[in-house]
Structure 1
Amino acid sequence: MTALRVRRAGPGDRETVKRLISEAWGAPILVVHGVTYDAAELPALIAERDGEVAGLLTFHLDGDALEIVSLNAFTSGAGVGSALVEATRELAPARLWVVTTNDNLDALRFYQRRGFRIVAVTPDAVDAARAVKPSIPLVGEYGIPLRDEITLEIRL
């Protein structure tokens, strides 16, 4: 197995980003903390191994903060997610943050193990997002009702 390589997505990667986001999230549109993102239009980092896409991270840079909008590692436990998050640290001016949902125990564990702290919980935020993107399920991972958003951040 060759080393993992993380690079910025270029204009030629837009269709790949759109396809991967659609496969992972049900559509290229992501609704987070009341904001609707077209993931194919966001800046992205792509992790590659052996010429294949191993992971994808989309982000939004606003002032001194970089928000991770989506993170997908297509092989669990292989360091792909960690490499993508580490690469965002180099891009973020002062603050790196992410929003996940109350059911996403794997993400909560992942981010906290990398130094992120829970800074806010927004009850019923997923219900509001569902009004924009009806394909968001009522029940999420581990059979947990999908209701709330949890914001995590790390100060750099």
Structure 2
Amino acid sequence: MPTTRTIEANDRERIRAFLDLRWGGPTIMLDGRAIDAAALPGFIGVDAGGAIAGLVTLLDDAVQSEIVTLDAMRAQTGLGTRLLELAAERARVLGLSRLLTRTTNDNLDALRFYQRRGFRLHRLAAGAIDLEREADPAIPLLGRHGIPLRDEISLVRVLSAD
């Protein structure tokens, strides 16, 4: 398994390139705000050759830490789960009570992944992707599995004080 560690300042340009590849750029829209995911705290997974194998970026407020991006280059290796658990540990250390994430209505793999790791459905923002598409027409009409891409689903995991 790749080694995991906290994101460091000298990782930022590589993270920006990784987000360009995986997300089409480092800017992620959250509730109408443009967030530069490449500038956020988080954790990185690096393979034996030094390439980024996985990444989680986080945005904190007074109550929670939100997963802005979570990627593992190879599925079902345990890296995504490891990065998620590092994010949960960090939130607990910061005294935060929950971990939040969002996905789109077509991302069945993400919905399954998060629910199997203790997340519960929290909020449905019906039409949220339709609104984002008005600002960014490059967002496709059809998502994964031919499902119309329309809505955003938030999931939350309450963190114990362990």
Normalised to the residue count of structure 1, the TM-score between the two structures is: 0.93
**Shift >6 Å, 4+ stretches:** none
> Does residue 23 of structure 1 match 2:26?
no
Deviation (angstroms), 1:35: 2.5
Please identify, of 39-48 and 16-25, the stretch whose mean Cα deviation from structure 2 is larger: 39-48
Partner residue, 1:5: 3
Partner residue, 1:43: 41
Distance between the aligned counterparts of 1:118 and 1:34, measured in 2?
21
Instruction: State the number of aligned residues.
Output: 154
Q: Is the 8 A contact 2:12 2:38 kept in 1?
A: yes
Q: Is the 8 A contact 1:118 1:151 kept in 2?
A: yes
Partner residue, 2:52: 53
Between the aligned residues of both structures, percent identity stands at 45
Distance between the aligned counterparts of 1:133 and 1:30, measured in 2?
12
* SS at 2:74 equivalent: coil
Question: Using CA pairs below 8 Å that are at least 6 residues apart, which structure has the higher relative contact order?
Answer: 1
Normalised to the residue count of structure 2, the TM-score between the two structures is: 0.90
Distance between the aligned counterparts of 1:117 and 1:27, measured in 2?
28
Partner residue, 1:112: 115
Per-residue CA distance 1:4-59 (angstroms, 9 max, x = gap): 32211111111111111111111221113332211122123101231332101111
Partner residue, 2:74: 75
Partner residue, 2:102: 99
Q: Is the 8 A contact 1:6 1:84 kept in 2?
A: yes
5+ long unaligned stretches in structure 1: none
- RMSD value over aligned CA atoms? 1.3
Deviation (angstroms), 1:86: 0.4
Distance between the aligned counterparts of 2:120 and 2:46, measured in 1?
28
CA 78–88 in structure 1, closer or farther in 2 if over 3 Å, else same: same
1:100 is matched by which residue type in structure 2?
T
2:106 is matched by which residue type in structure 1?
D
Distance between the aligned counterparts of 2:78 and 2:140, measured in 1?
28
Out of 138, 141, 147, the position equivalent to 1:138 is 141
